[in-house]
Amino acid sequence: MTRALTRAHRLERIVEAIGKTPLVRLGRLRELAGQTDVKVYAKLELANPGGSVKDRAARQMVLAAIAEGRLGRGVTLIDSTSGNTGVAYSMIGAALGLDIELVMPRNVTEPRKRVARAYGARITFSDPMEGSDGAIRHVRKLVEAAPDRYFYPDQYSNPNNPLAHYLGTGQEILDDLGSELTHFVAGLGTSGTVMGTSRRLHEVPFPVRCVAVEPRDALHGLEGLKHMASSLVPAIYDATVPDEILPVTTEDGWEMSDRLAREEGLHVGHSTGANVFAAVQIAQQCLARGERASIVTVACDRGDRYFAPMKWERSYVW
Amino acid sequence: MAIRVRIPTPLRSLTAGAEEVAIDSATTVGAVIEQLEAKHPGVKDRLLDDKGVRKFINVYLGDEDIRFLEGLESAVKDGDEISIVPAIAGGAR
């Protein structure tokens, strides 16, 4: 019996709704329309209850900490996040009765701050000039000052982050496509998705090429992605895992996210645009070589998380 | 007095690590960026494309985005502070 027939849709807790996301063919983009030998699929991580791929890592890290006795009554979960992980912690925290405190750069988009607050999380802001690395340093200072008060999951160093994708994302892709799968394409942020999924896909007896997408330049607009050469490199990142690194410009990622809404009915964020842009490039290379390919990429989150604030909402305190 | 320009971390590789660059005199934000380019070649191309300020970069004069002022034509005077802020929080050191 297939998983679709056995999967229970009645759940006891919202956290059980994380994962087992749909895999959807992108067949209307002009580069792919009418192709039968080369297929591109998007794994709809935006269908997770917190609205992003980050639900997976957050759940794995939180459940592991509870099991190890490091998180519970009297302990606050604190972490740095540029948004989606914060939403995930906040949602899971509310569902499990945990206290959540988030540190994010002030220039994170307004909808993400509001969503996290709606779940009851507290937010502390760090210097927008310092980016996500500034938020990391700020959290480390707070935790050093009061280590007993806090549980710091540290998504950049926590092996449960990639483990969520090894056990979940990677396995689900194999369940859906089996040996048809030829490529996996995903952006590097914490690198958890690329590390965990690629490790699982490299275990199978047929070749799966795993491609990591990164912003071409240090100063970029692909929120959530890291330009590794100019960044604090996450401890969970192992440069030997991806088979290839594919740089994408901000403009190409942004344009593809606009096109996905109009041409595929997928309203996604900019990192997804970059992922799909890279996947389409690989598809075109396979077509040019006359190779069959089934390429899976990741739709990380929805586009409405990135709506710009109105002018009267724009105010930054320096 | 001068005009102070705050440089975000991903651009500091072009400013020899400086967090702030002083521009002696200029009358518009555009002129400030030209002088910044003269001092630190490569900066302008990161900030501007042929249509103006790149979409993912915000340039603030004081605490107002120049898109809501006169853009690159916005007038500046001695003592003003200009901040270059990536539109996102993504991770450069």
DSSP string spanning B60-93? EETTEEGGGTTGGG-B--TT-EEEEEESS-----
Q: Which of A129, A151, A173 is the C-terminal boundary of a domain?
A: A151
Quick check: A181 and A205 in contact, CB under 8 A? no
Beta strands in A148-240 (DSSP E): 150-151, 183-187, 209-215
- Inform me whether the pLDDT recorded for A318 exceeds 50: no
Residues of chain A contacting residue B7, judged by C-beta atoms under 8 Å apart: 129
Chunk chain B into consecutive blocks of 10 residues (it has 93) and report each block's average pLDDT, rounded to whole numbers: 89 91 93 95 93 89 90 94 76 32
Q: Is A131 on the interface with B (CB under 8 A)?
A: yes
ipTM over 0.85: no
| Residue B49 β-bridge partners | B52
Q: How far is CA A149 from CA A122, A157, B41, in A?
A: 15, 20, 47
Give the per-residue pLDDT at A308.
61
Q: Assess whether A69 and A121 both reside in one domain.
A: yes
Q: Is B9 on the interface with A (CB under 8 A)?
A: yes
Mean pLDDT of A277-304: 97
Q: Is A235 on the interface with B (CB under 8 A)?
A: no
| Model confidence pLDDT, tens digit, residues B59-71 | 999 988 898 899 9
Count the alpha carbons within 13 Å of A21 in the hemisphere toward its beta carbon: 31
Query: Is B90 close to A217, i.e. CB distance below 8 A?
Result: no
CA dihedral of residues A264, A265, A266, A267 (deg, nearest 10): 130
| Model confidence pLDDT, tens digit, residues A229-238 | 888 899 999 9
Domain of residue A243, residue span: 14-52+162-315
pTM: 0.88
How far apart, in whole angstroms, are the C-alpha atoms of residue A178 and residue A38?
Answer: 16
CA A232 to chain centre: 18
- Domain positions in chain B: 3-86
Gap from B27 CA to chain A (nearest CA, Å): 23
Q: What percent of chain B has pLDDT over 90?
A: 67
Question: Integer distance in angstroms from the first to the last C-alpha of chain A?
Answer: 59
Homologous superfamily of the B3-86 domain (CATH): Beta-grasp domain (3.10.20.30)
Q: Assess whether A186 and A242 both reside in one domain.
A: yes
Residue A79: burial class (beta carbons within 10 Å; 0-12, 13-18, 19+)? buried
Tell whether A3 is covered by a domain: no
Tell whether A47 is covered by a domain: yes
Q: Is A49 on the interface with B (CB under 8 A)?
A: no
Q: Assess whether A97 and A237 both reside in one domain.
A: no
What is the domain-level CATH number for residue A192?
3.40.50.1100
